[in-house]
Amino acid sequence: MAFITPSTTADAYDVVVVGSGAAGGQAAYTLTMDGARVLMLEAGRNYDPSTETPMFQTPDMAPLRGTATPDKPYGFFDATVGGGWTVPGEPYTNASEDPARQFMWYRSRMLGGRTNHWARHALRNGPYDFKPRSRDGLGFDWPISYQDVAPYYDKVEMLIGVYGTKEGLENTPDSPDGVLLPPPKARIGELLARQRARRIGIPVVPIHRAVLTRPLDHVGIPPKLHPGNAKAQRILAEDMRNRAACFWATQCARGCAIRANYQSTTVHIPPALATGNLDILTDAMVREVPVDEAGKATGVIYIDKRTGSEHRVKARVVVLAASACETVRLMLNSRSKRFPEGLGNSSGLVGKYILDTVGANWGGQIPLLENLPLHNEDGAGGLHVYAPWWLYKEQLAGTLGFARGYHVEFGTGRGMPGGFAPYVPDAGGRTTFGAKLKEDARRYYGSHVGFSGRGEMIPNDDSFCELDPKVVDKWGLPVLRFHWRWSDHETRQAAHMQKTFADWIEAMGGVNLKKPLNDGAKVIDPGGKVIHEVGGTIMGTEPGKSVTDAWSRTWDVPNVYVADGGVFASNADKNPTLTIMALAWRAADRILDEMKKGNL
């Protein structure tokens, strides 16, 4: 029995994995496919995308026409369960009252975590991104390089399925032949944006997204991913056959009942369960990683949320994959005689160097896209193209006023009307109504472009989290208190984004709906808003200066690994999740190796 209750857990496992998102899913997959006995503990409830995904529901079937509310910040149908910007009973705090120094923390409480609703942008970090300090003297280099991670990017891309092309662009790695799936055709607004972007020197190319534009090669891929392991190959081949290709309708953020995009619940967990080596406990909140006299972790202590009772489970290895900040909290809450400041925290660095992505948004209206002939632009349920960072020369010359780059995600098109008012210009302040309203709504529908910049933040001493000395959650566990500050590198970058978007809109013959601001501090999204939080347990070459080694193992406790984004020593402009999965696979391979050698 795979989904088990506390009374039926085995006495001991090879590995306990805390969390079931991108990190926990990948770790559990790799470990169980190679024969390790694994228990996955998830604080949220069980979640089944095949029966719980509102694929074709229209907004009129939802309360408030599906609009965003504090209960569902991305709309009613979004695949976030039990969370959002707040989680009932599990608060967090900010140390400062200053609006510019707030950190926002988005969490889910469900099997699969936030992978059920993520936007599926799956970009590789480039070679520069692992050695940023060597390039510009800021932040930290990773103890590993692109070459170390590249084979794992290949594996993850083949396993989950990612569309995209090889463009040969600087610091924007190509995948080897046969790894990516074909990109979908660009929508009309994307084609126009690309043509006009060229005039202002911005490259637009197919984005990489974890969506199956055709079925996975269930014959060719399994032997590549699991050489010499016939059982794993068989299980994976069978599972790949059961994943359908995208049918070009519905919105990926609701999840995908036909398993055509990546969610931990549709891609990692099913084959891992099929091995018979995985047990999963949901509604299980891990509160502590206890250690023995020798300073080795003995397993975990968790709270059964349904009864409030506490349980222990033993394991040879503990993998922390609760998401970067939750892992920090768990480590800081795991105090012992041996580790009075928290597990793995002899450096005092657990919680330090929390990073998000720099975000700034802008939109315009494009007359060339008015009154288009009706056609279906649902496509792959998200972006088809984007602009990778392009100003490497200026960056190296130091002429930009900020150190690191950004990429541009943008959307145009005739997507399903959501719970927002139709855009009509209301010229001269006159509120349009009647026949003219319908006419205008039709005319302007699909004639907009919305840009989001996604930029690299540099780690700083004022952006970190720690245990709040007073506030506890409903289980009595101390909660996180965040400290945040953007440096000039980030705010100037945000202003640059907005200026770029305004120029781009003009190049498209479009109308900027407002004047862009020069003040980056007003333009930049609050910390955490882009939901790419990483860092807090960074990897490095030396114990005193980092929390984990190059294999994501904590320096202090030899049998505790961090599989989530906590180990990131920098946060490239590339969205983090593909890298999280690549590193989780790599850490799991190492664990398997060390177990075989008898070191764990």
Partner 1 sequence: MDRRLAIKWMLAASAGVVMARNPMLGASNPPGIAEPEPPFGYGKDSNLMKASKPGDYWPLTFTELQRRQAAVLADIIIPDDGKNPSATSVGVVDFVDEWVSAPYPDNLRDRKIILDGMAWLDEESVRRFGRRFAESSEADRLVLVEEMSRSQKAEPDAGSSQAFFRLVRDLVGVGYFTTPVGMKDLGYVGNVPLATFDGPPAELVAKLGLVDEVKW
- Kindly identify the residues of this chain, within the stretch 498-517, that bind ligand SF4 according to CB under 6 A: none
Q: Can you state the angle between helices 230-241 and 22-33, rounded to 10 degrees? A: 130
| Among the listed residues 374, 393, 399, 597, the single contact to partner 1 using CB under 8 A | 374
Measured from the CB atom, the residue of 366 and 581 that comes closer to ligand FAD is: 581
435 interface partner picked from ligand FAD, partner 1, ligand SF4, none, CB below 5 to 8 A per type: partner 1
Query: Contact between 162 and ligand SF4 (CB under 6 A)?
Result: no
Return d(Cα 521, Cα 421) in angstroms, integer: 29
Return d(Cα 484, Cα 358) in angstroms, integer: 13
Shortest approach of ligand SF4 to residue 258 CB, angstroms? Answer: 6
Residue 61 in tokens = 């079937």
Residues 213 and 246: beta-carbon distance below 8 Å = yes
Q: Is 96 exposed, middle or buried (0-12, 13-18, 19+ CB in 10 A)?
A: middle
Binding residues for ligand SF4, total number by CB under 6 A: 12
| Among the listed residues 64, 200, 396, 472, the single contact to partner 1 using CB under 8 A | 64
| Neighbour tally for 348: CB within 10 Å | 11
Q: Which residue is nearest to ligand SF4 (CB)?
A: 381
Measured from the CB atom, the residue of 32 and 80 that comes closer to partner 1 is: 80
Query: Contact between 392 and partner 1 (CB under 8 A)?
Result: no
Query: Contact between 211 and ligand SF4 (CB under 6 A)?
Result: yes
- Residues in contact with partner 1, shown as a per-residue x/- string from 5 to 24 under the rule CB under 8 A: --------------------
- Residues in contact with ligand SF4, shown as a per-residue x/- string from 163 to 202 under the rule CB under 6 A: ----------------------------------------
423 interface partner picked from partner 1, ligand FAD, ligand SF4, none, CB below 5 to 8 A per type: partner 1
22 interface partner picked from ligand FAD, partner 1, ligand SF4, none, CB below 5 to 8 A per type: ligand FAD
161 interface partner picked from partner 1, ligand SF4, ligand FAD, none, CB below 5 to 8 A per type: none
Q: Which stretch binds partner 1 (CB under 8 A): 14-22, 141-149, 244-252, 272-280?
A: 244-252
Residues 379-418 that bind ligand SF4 (CB under 6 A): 380-381
Q: Which stretch binds partner 1 (CB under 8 A): 3-11, 52-60, 311-319, 549-557?
A: 52-60
DSSP 24-53: HHHHHHHHHHTT--EEEE-SSB---HHHH-
Q: Is 97 exposed, middle or buried (0-12, 13-18, 19+ CB in 10 A)?
A: exposed
Residue 475 in tokens = 């289980």
Residues 445-474 that bind ligand SF4 (CB under 6 A): none
Query: Contact between 206 and partner 1 (CB under 8 A)?
Result: yes
Residue 582 in tokens = 């690549």
Question: Beta 352-355 vs 534-536: how paired, if at all?
Answer: antiparallel
Query: At 206, which amino acid appears?
Result: P
Nearest to 525 by CA among 85, 26, 110, 122: 85
| Among the listed residues 13, 76, 130, 585, the single contact to partner 1 using CB under 8 A | 76
374 interface partner picked from ligand SF4, ligand FAD, partner 1, none, CB below 5 to 8 A per type: partner 1
Query: Contact between 113 and partner 1 (CB under 8 A)?
Result: no
Host H or E run for residue 592: helix 577-596
Measured from the CB atom, the residue of 117 and 352 that comes closer to ligand SF4 is: 117
Residues that bind ligand FAD (CB under 6 A): 18-24, 41-44, 74, 106, 108-109, 113-115, 117-121, 285-286, 321-323, 326, 330, 531-532, 564-565, 575-577, 580
End-to-end CA distance of the chain: 27
Return d(Cα 227, Cα 239) in angstroms, integer: 17
Helix, strand or coil, per DSSP, at residue 461: coil
Query: Contact between 291 and ligand SF4 (CB under 6 A)?
Result: no
CB neighbour list of residue 597: distance below 8 Å, 6 or more residues apart: none
383 interface partner picked from partner 1, ligand FAD, ligand SF4, none, CB below 5 to 8 A per type: partner 1
Query: Contact between 294 and partner 1 (CB under 8 A)?
Result: no
Residues 449-468 that bind partner 1 (CB under 8 A): 449-452
Measured from the CB atom, the residue of 116 and 460 that comes closer to ligand SF4 is: 116
Residues 30 and 159: beta-carbon distance below 8 Å = no
| Among the listed residues 295, 526, 543, 558, the single contact to partner 1 using CB under 8 A | 526
Residue 526 in tokens = 């609050």
359 interface partner picked from ligand SF4, partner 1, ligand FAD, none, CB below 5 to 8 A per type: none
Residues 225-284 that bind ligand SF4 (CB under 6 A): 246-247, 249-250, 252, 256, 258, 260-261
Measured from the CB atom, the residue of 106 and 402 that comes closer to ligand FAD is: 106
CA distances for 154 relative to 147, 162, 365, 577, 586, angstroms? 11, 10, 39, 14, 12
What are φ and ψ of residue 169, in 5° steps?
-90, 155
CA angle (567 as vertex; 561, 568 as ends), nearest 5:
160
Return d(Cα 82, Cα 177) in angstroms, integer: 41
Return d(Cα 285, Cα 309) in angstroms, integer: 11
Residue 448 in tokens = 């907009």
211 interface partner picked from partner 1, ligand SF4, ligand FAD, none, CB below 5 to 8 A per type: ligand SF4
CA dihedral sign of residues 301, 304, 308, 309: negative
Helix, strand or coil, per DSSP, at residue 334: coil
Binding site for ligand SF4 (CB under 6 A): 211, 246-247, 249-250, 252, 256, 258, 260-261, 380-381
